[in-house]
Amino acid sequence: MFPGFLFIAVRIFEIISLIPIWGMLAWFVDLYQPATPPDYILYPFIVALLATIWAIITLLMYRRMGWTPIYIAIVDLCWFGILIGGVVVLAPWVRRTDCVQWQGQSAVLNAAGMSVTSGDVTVAKQCMMLKSSWGLAILNIILFFASAVLAWEVWHRTGVVVVRPRRSRSSRRNNGW
């Protein structure tokens, strides 16, 4: 069953890409202790943590119940929207920041036609962690939508449709009706 295999593969990739998000944002939560961290860090942290728990539970319970794929598809679409909210909340803090500072000196052109510059590169750790969390959250938005579509496809292919048999009028007459 190809959609089922793809669903499991996407779900595993979701778990692998969600763990670094809440790991990096947990660093920020710890940084702000004993005060409460700002909402733009706390909201994506909680969303990523709960989405990881949901992904693990659904991966473990995927084959146990027959009705689960449609339920998983509906809840994955909810996580899709919640993750969009997390990205929107975090966006103003990461969109217009430059995390890498280059303090370069003069460029030299060597015989091969390549330029060589000397200088110093400074990387802001906090900025890079926020941008990485933001980028991984965007990836998970795409993955949760894909897993919702795949779960719906699994349900569509294996869903049980109940059809009532139609009785003809002549069978009713023969029974004394």
Give the model confidence (pLDDT) of 114-124 as tens digits: 665 666 777 88
Overall average pLDDT of the 121-132 stretch: 86
Contacts of 46 (CB under 8 A, 6+ apart): none
Query: Given pLDDT bands bounded at 50, 70 and 90, which one contains residue 4?
Result: confident
Phi, psi of 115 (to 5 degrees): -95, 140
CB 44 within 8 Å of CB 86: yes
Query: Given pLDDT bands bounded at 50, 70 and 90, which one contains residue 87?
Result: very high
**107 token code pair:** 């460029």
CB 169 within 8 Å of CB 177: no
**pTM score, whole prediction:** 0.76
| CA within 13 Å, CB half, 154 | 25
Say how far apart CA 131 and CA 122 lie, in whole Å: 16
Give the model confidence (pLDDT) of 138-175 as tens digits: 999 999 999 999 888 877 766 555 456 666 565 555 55
In this predicted model, which residue has the larger pLDDT, 18 or 95? Answer: 18
CB 148 within 8 Å of CB 105: no
Q: What is the pLDDT of residue 13?
A: 94
